[in-house]
Structure 1
Amino acid sequence: MSQQTLPTITAGRVDARRHRPGLALAIIVTCQLMLILDATVMNVALPGIQSDLNFSPTGLAWVMSAYTLAYGGLLLLGGRTGDILGRRRTFVGGIALFTLASLLGGFATTPGWLLAARVLQGVGAAAAGPSTIALITTTFTEPRARIRALALLSGVASGGFAVGLIVGGALTEVASWRWVLFINVPLGLAAVLLAPRYVREPQRHPARLDLPGALTGTAAVAALVYTFIHAASVGWSDPTTLSTLVAGAVLLVLFLAIELRAPQPLLPLRLFADRDRAAGFLNFFLGPAAMMSMFFFLTQFLQEVRGLGALGTGFAFLPMAAGMFTMTRLVPHLLPRFGPRPLAVSGSLLMIVGLVWLTQLSATSGYVDGLLGPMLLMGIGGGLGFVPLTPVIMSRVAPADAGAAGGALQTMQQTGASLGLAVLVTVFGSASRHAGAGLPAGPATAHHALITGMTAAFTASAIISVSTLLVALTFPRKRP
């Protein structure tokens, strides 16, 4: 063997040692779970945060909303930045910022300090999030392996909302609310150190950033997300709600006009030219809108009506998370055989049944007879209905647009969750006010009003799920 061949062989060994798709997938999925967890992990920690930092009731809502607003508003920009600057570089930078913000937030001593840290977390998540999907699509080039990887990522993204409640409850009960933020630090540091070594950097696509599109698109999504968050607390008739809604709509129209003419757009509108991909985007908007009622209202029911603590409330959602994660293992085997339509239709039907079941909730409903069944149906239905969507959306995206497509997907998910929660809280508020009118004040009346509002919100969620069913019927029976 000649000396000239030795470096090639040695370099090949080094590359084979470092290219471990399984380890790369574990790093990417763990980071995606960490980003999704922070959308709900703070829910059960809010009472402790309010007590320690003296938040006002109105200000406390911004502990959740500050993260959602920054995350949802910057996702499109984060996706295209990854395409231009390098997806692994953008991913690692976003995780580093998210980790630093988590550490700072855990040491917060004032409301302003914590809210600033939550905004920084959202900025980091928006940079890293779109690159998770893009890195998987370029790491796994074999179709079946890619489907399995994307299904796992999609299941983690969907089930992460429920896991967030479990993790948040456990950490709050055992330690304190600060550990809900501190837990991100070791995970984030591990990702920052391991990702450059084991996650391949896909080919970069040199281009100019569409600055007008970035400004109008980010402002439009931020305005709309703020509108939904604001409407959830003060209603849709509030002048601020209406003005930000109009501003968001005008900015959205302007953004689309810019994207139609831009030579290198922030969001290539050709992504929506494929009918299946457009339908997948739509269901990624509608699905979280329907499912948010489960997390928001059942958390209140379990704590205020059934008297569970933070840990018990978190573990109550375990069947739903288990159903979702089980589907992430089965869908990669079912999707090539049956195609996306039967899976998505079956999942939507199970979700509808689960939500209709929840409309029968009462003050005497127990966990086993009133909640366990709907939670299992929602977990299995959500897995069947939404895990196939990521492969449908990403399967035929050009490599140069992978980050933009990932950013659009997650923007749909975050905006759908915000809009859905705003609509459902509005329905809940109207129904609960009417239910409590004229009745004597007391725990029984409060529980009656609470449950009446919840069942009205579950009815609205079931109607939204019917919309996901109609969209699912347009999916192809089997992908060629």
Structure 2
Amino acid sequence: MQTKFTKYEFSILSIVLVSYFMTVLDVSVVITALPKIQDDLHLSTANLTWVQNAYTIIFGGLLLLGGRLGDIVGRKQIFNIGLIVFGLGSLLVGMANSSMWMIIARGFQGAGAAALAPSTLALLMDSIPAGTKRIRAVADYGAVAGIGASVGLVIGGLFASLLSWRYAFFVNVPIAIVMFIWATKAVHATKPQKGSFDGIGSILSLLGMVSLVYGILLVSTSATAWVWILAAVILLGLFVVREVKVAQPIMPLRVFKNKERTGAYLSRMLYLGAMMAFWFFITQFLQEVYGFSPLMAGLGFFPMTVANFISALQVSKLTAKFGNGMTLVGGLVFTIAGMLWLSFAGSGSNYVVAVALPMILIGIGQGAALSPLTTAGIADIVPRDAGAASGVVNVAHQIGGSIGLAILVVLSTTIGGTALVARTALALRGGVVFLIIALILTLVLIVPKKAK
């Protein structure tokens, strides 16, 4: 069996990985720069939260539509449109001079990412045949999800301290232009499927997700929170009903008939919920408790970034030896151990012992977990549903992060009060609970398939 990529396959893989890296990077690049952004734009705490959530919610809410449009219009066309929208959104974010401008621009950027992300994974599946080469390619794709997020923390702190947080977004513009030119020349156009996209379903899913996250964020501060949560339940319920009845759904429910895929989606949501809380709280912890600058806070994540990179490079070998499911189990166990250890960090603790060492465990775990989750999320999928399954993988990634962060922020604030050390500890231990549930789901739904 041929194991080396052809020139065309390598070109597609490079375009896919760089483009996906760019979208994942922008989930975390803003985190270490948040204090600087808040000072420059005079943002309230609520508006500051929406600088992050506007991107992730729109990104996650439109992913299903992005995946379906790729099936109907063509992967290459939607991929190129996504690059244009994402690049323009990045430019607008970098030019923002008010909270409203910033939040709208982040949402616009998220819309571009929603077109890009499912198209990247679907293009990879279209262009690289099933077998050893695709396993390697999907492993690389999954690794980018973790490495991009980790590197984003460092880059965000670097620009915020040495130049301006705006450059962290401006840098996307030339990258998007180069990728657009390269993809236009290199990527073969896929044959569009006959059909139409489900606009009503897209609106219901987007409004439902926004209402759910917003309602959770309001739980500790407003009695209207439960109204928003109830509205979310109704909207998402209507979305599911529509997907059952509509001829060409944006989220075909047959995607969930496979237990391995379903387990991967649920576990990915829980994993990203825990990781988003980790990034969000530890960034603040390093700056406010340890007194790190944004640059030092970004570099403070370096042990995790290096461990993540090394671990991700070994995934193909690990899955070949132990299977996809057991590699995922190992990644979850390492992440649980690291996050639990980190939750005991305090104002008087040593950075190396209390933060850096547990970060290494988290990095190893993340590098070993995200690729297997991606592989399981597209397991045994038929070509006609490749775009839809790719969309669901990315929806689980983005929406899981938003909902998980919202839940853990509310719980930590309600129980821990205003003390950052206490809130951080509670959020991380809540993340450990998420990860343990993900581990149980993996053992029940994913591992048995691979053990046969």
Normalising by the smaller structure, the TM-score range is over 0.9
CA contact (8 A) 1:73 1:225 kept: no
Matches of 2:42 and 2:53, distance apart in 1: 18
- How does 1:85-104 map onto structure 2 within 5 Å? 85-104=73-92
Structure-2 residue corresponding to 1:379: 363
CA–CA separation in structure 2 for the residues paired with 1:40 and 1:469: 24
User: What TM-score results when the alignment is normalised by the length of structure 2?
Assistant: 0.94
Aligned counterpart for 2:436 among listed residues 466, 469, 477 = 466
| 2:199 alignment counterpart | 211
Give the match for residue 107 of structure 1.
95
Q: Secondary structure at the match of 1:264?
A: coil
Which of 305-314 and 197-206 deviates more?
197-206
Query: Paired residue for 1:441?
Result: none
| Among candidates 53, 68, 79, match of residue 80 of structure 1 | 68
Determine if contact 2:65/2:197 at 8 Å carries over to the other structure: no
SS in 1 for 2:224: helix
Letter in 2 for 1:336: A
* 1:455 is the counterpart of 2:407: no
1:82-120 alpha-carbon deviations (Å, 9 max, x no partner): 111111110110111110121122222333222222121
- State the distance in 1 between where 2:54 and 2:274 align: 22
Alpha-carbon RMSD: 1.8
Residue 357 (str. 1) matches residue 341 (str. 2):
yes
Structure with larger Rg: 1
Q: Could you tell me whether the CA contact under 8 Å between 2:94 and 2:167 is conserved in 1? A: yes
Mapped to 2, the partners of 1:130 and 1:117 lie a distance apart of 21
Equivalent in 267, 285, 289 of residue 283 of structure 1: 267
Q: Which residue of 1 aligns with 2:141?
A: 153
Match of 1:428 among 412, 426, 430: 412
Q: How far apart are the structure 1 equivalents of 2:426 and 2:206?
A: 33
Partners of 1:432 and 1:452 within 8 A in 2: yes
For residues 300 and 179 of structure 2, the distance between their equivalents in structure 1, rounded to whole angstroms, comes to 30
Q: Are 2:270 and 1:300 equivalent residues in the alignment?
A: no
- 2:3 matched to which residue of 1? none
How far apart are residue 236 of structure 1 and its match?
4.6
Read off the aligned partner of 1:472 and give its amino acid letter: T
Q: Distance in 1 between matches of 2:26 and 2:401?
A: 14
**Partner residue of 1:328 out of 309, 312, 332:** 312
Distance apart, 1:349 and its partner CA: 1.3
Matches within 5 A, 1:47-446: 47-228=35-216, 231=217, 234-236=218-220, 238-433=222-417
Q: Deviations over 1:280-320 (max 9, x none)?
A: 11111111112222211111111011111111111111221
Matches of 2:36 and 2:321 in 1, distance apart? 49
Are the equivalent residues in 2 in contact too, given 1:37–1:160 (CA < 8 A)? yes
* Alignment check: 8 A CA contact 2:325 2:372 kept: no
User: In the aligned structure 1, how far is the partner of 2:197 from the partner of 2:102?
Assistant: 32
- SS of equivalent to 2:314: helix
Partners of 1:469 and 1:324 in 2: how far apart? 19
Q: Greater shift after overlay, 215-224 or 189-198?
A: 215-224
CA-CA distance at 1:19 after TM superposition: 5.3
Question: 1:163: Cα distance to partner?
Answer: 1.4
Partner Cα separation in structure 2 for residue 464 and residue 110 of structure 1: 36
Which runs of 5 or more residues in structure 2 are unaligned?
Answer: 1-5
Distance in 1 between residues matched to 2:219 and 2:148, nearest whole Å: 28
Give 1:22-37 correspondences, 5 Å limit.
22-37=10-25
State the Cα deviation string for residues 384-428 of structure 1 (Å, max 9, x = none): 223111112213111111111111111111111111111211222
CA distance in 2, matches of 1:324, 1:387: 12
Deviates more, 1:168-177 or 1:219-228: 219-228
In structure 2, distance between residues paired with 1:267 and 1:31: 24
8 A Cα contact 1:236 1:242, kept in partner: no
Task: Count residues with an aligned counterpart.
Answer: 445
Amino acid at match of 2:384: A
Equivalent residue letter for 1:248:
A
- Whichever residue aligns with residue 410 of structure 2, its letter is T
Q: What amino acid maps onto 1:175 in structure 2?
A: L
- Tell me the SS of whatever aligns to 1:204: coil
- Displacement of 1:479 in angstroms is 7.0
Task: Output the CA distance in 2 between the equivalents of 1:55 and 1:455.
Answer: 26
Distance 1:202 1:403 in 2: 12
- Equivalent residue for 1:476? 447
- The residue identity in structure 2 corresponding to 1:476 is V
User: 2: distance between equivalents of 1:34 and 1:317?
Assistant: 19
**1:85 is aligned with what amino acid?**
V
Residue 440 of structure 1 corresponds to none
User: 2:35 & 2:342 partners in 1: Cα distance?
Assistant: 26
Distance 1:425 1:159 in 2: 24
Structure 2 match to 1:5 = none
Q: Which runs of 5+ in 1 are unaligned?
A: 1-17, 437-448
